[in-house]
Amino acid sequence: MALHEITAAWHDVVLDIAYATAANFTGKPVYTRPGCYLHEDAAAALRRAADLARPLGLRLKVFDAFRPSEAQWVLWNFRPDPEFLADPRKGSPHSRGVAVDLTLIDAHGRELDMGTGFDAFTPLSHHGSTAIPEAAQRNRFLLLGLMSAAGWDFYRNEWWHYQLFDARRYPLLSDADLPEPMMALV
């Protein structure tokens, strides 16, 4: 199964692949390059979401998409927290190419307030949290509505995480399944 590269121009999204930088919960890069890939079904759903956001003057900013199984192990070994990370022995929807972590940005490229940052492993990150400002709650519901209308399911503990329905029907993939590796050769 081929993964499709997600590009800023072709999919009308902004790419800010967090795990290729130190701006993630591990504090160091997990990927050696900021690749962004999705299964063709997920790529089509991402394009639908971008199309729905555009008339509202909004765009999608992607933090992560396909995550090689090797990277899932790196994250799990750093913080084995099943409330926020999939156990790599079971596999993550990210490692199947059918999940995306993202937010909304306005016409000036500013992220909408979602109440917490990406990868904030706290109950405040839950979709239903009412302990965040009302404006942030509205922004989360706006993102939820756009993504749901485009065919995505959500993970209740992470406002930024969306995956295709029945994600487990897709096979697990590794760094070797990419046209160019994202992980460091060991």
The ranges assigned to domains in the chain are 3-177
Mean pLDDT, range 85-112, rounded to an integer: 97
Q: What is the rounded distance in angstroms from the CA atom of residue 75 to the CA atom of residue 125? A: 18
Closest C-alpha to 6, from 57, 90, 74, 63: 63
Active site residue 158: yes
Strands 3-5 and 158-164: unpaired
pLDDT of 113 reads: 98
By the 8 A CB rule, do 37 and 3 touch?
yes
Specify burial of residue 24 (Cβ count, 10 A radius: 0-12, 13-18, 19+).
Answer: buried
Instruction: List Cβ neighbours of 176 (8 Å cut-off, separation of 6 or more).
Output: none
- From the list 83, 134, 158, 180, the catalytic residue is 158
- The residues that bridge with 164 in the sheet, in sequence order, are 152
Mean pLDDT, range 93-117, rounded to an integer: 98
Q: Is the confidence at residue 185, as pLDDT, over 80?
A: no
Q: What is the rounded distance in angstroms from the CA atom of residue 120 to the CA atom of residue 77? A: 17
Report the predicted TM-score, pTM, of the whole model to 2 decimal places.
Answer: 0.96
Percent of the chain with pLDDT over 70: 98
Cα-atom radius of gyration of the chain, to the nearest Å?
15
pLDDT of 184 reads: 82
By the 8 A CB rule, do 45 and 94 touch?
no
Q: Is the confidence at residue 1, as pLDDT, over 80?
A: no
Question: CA torsion sign, 114 to 116 to 121 to 123?
Answer: negative
Q: Is the confidence at residue 186, as pLDDT, over 60?
A: no
Strands 152-155 and 99-105: unpaired
Q: What is the rounded distance in angstroms from the CA atom of residue 22 to the CA atom of residue 17? A: 10
**Residue 12 — pLDDT band, cuts 50, 70, 90?**
very high
Q: Is the confidence at residue 157, as pLDDT, over 80?
A: yes
Q: Is the confidence at residue 152, as pLDDT, over 70?
A: yes
Q: Which CATH architecture has domain 3-177?
A: 2-Layer Sandwich (3.30)
* 3 residue type, one letter: L
pLDDT of 72 reads: 96
Angle at 143 between CA 138 and CA 148, to 5 degrees: 125
